[in-house]
Amino acid sequence: MTIHIGAKPGEIAETVLLPGDPYRAKWAAETFLTDVTCVNEVRGMLGFTGMWKGNRVTIHGSGMGMPSLSIYVNELIKDYGAKTLIRIGSCGAMQEKVAIRDVILAMTATTLSTPSRGIFKEINFAPCADYGLLRAAADAAASKGSATHVGGIYSSDVFYDERPDLNEQMIRHGILGVEMEAAELYNLAARHGCRALAVLTVSDHLITHDALPSDQREKSFGDMVEIALEAAFA
């Protein structure tokens, strides 16, 4: 048990999927895992451990933003021995070729700042995905026939962004989408010798202003969860 996770020793699997929303963690666990047990409810951040095709998996909420994710990932790695951590979440598309419901596999994560900034000081560290996970996820997406894009994303530290000039530069430089957590996940995985990947479903579009209705999101997110699970155990 840690400050933010109430799981007992041994209740967290080495493979952890990390949606931001704790209720999405509940939905994913109940939909894709068997023999599911709720292992955390501290502060309403739900975590579940179960089985997928004979493999033990934990699906645990991470909250919104890099500071929140940093808390949970630090504790999952250092106190519970997590080795493979895959973010499953939504993002906003930043290129016209990327459509609503498409899946983005984040090869790199650009950001203005993360909770790790104090460690890196003047260094612009380049956080990236684990190549084995990235390749396995791309293969899994191809086998499913999912519309998938592999490339760089932007991890923003604000939701209500008042820097349209910054978004313009992200678009200009080919960034596929924007979300709020992956860069710090990749930093922490690199620091502790773990594997990490972000598998993202496009829920809205910064250029076209299209958006996925809330009642359609869970069905569309199913491909993302399956790709993440296939990649973790490839």
Is residue 210 annotated as a catalytic residue, yes or no? no
Binding site: residue ranges?
A: 4, 20, 24, 43, 87-90, 179-181, 203-204
Give yes or no for a contact between 199 and 181, defined as CB atoms under 8 angstroms apart. no
The domains found in the chain, sorted by start residue, are: 15-232 (3.40.50.1580)
Binding site for phosphate: residue ranges?
A: 20, 24, 43, 87-90
For residue 59, which of 115, 102, 7, 97 has the smallest C-alpha distance? 7
Q: Which residue is catalytic, options 139, 165, 204, 215?
A: 204
pTM for this model (two decimals): 0.95
Interatomic CA distance for residues 27 and 21, integer angstroms: 10
Binding site for a purine D-ribonucleoside: residue ranges?
A: 4, 179-181, 203-204
pLDDT by 10s per residue, the chain, length 234: 899 999 999 999 999 999 999 999 999 999 999 999 999 999 999 999 999 999 999 999 999 999 999 999 999 999 999 999 999 999 999 999 999 999 999 999 999 999 898 899 889 999 999 999 999 999 999 999 999 999 999 999 898 888 889 999 999 999 999 999 999 999 999 999 999 999 999 999 999 999 988 777 766 799 999 999 999 999
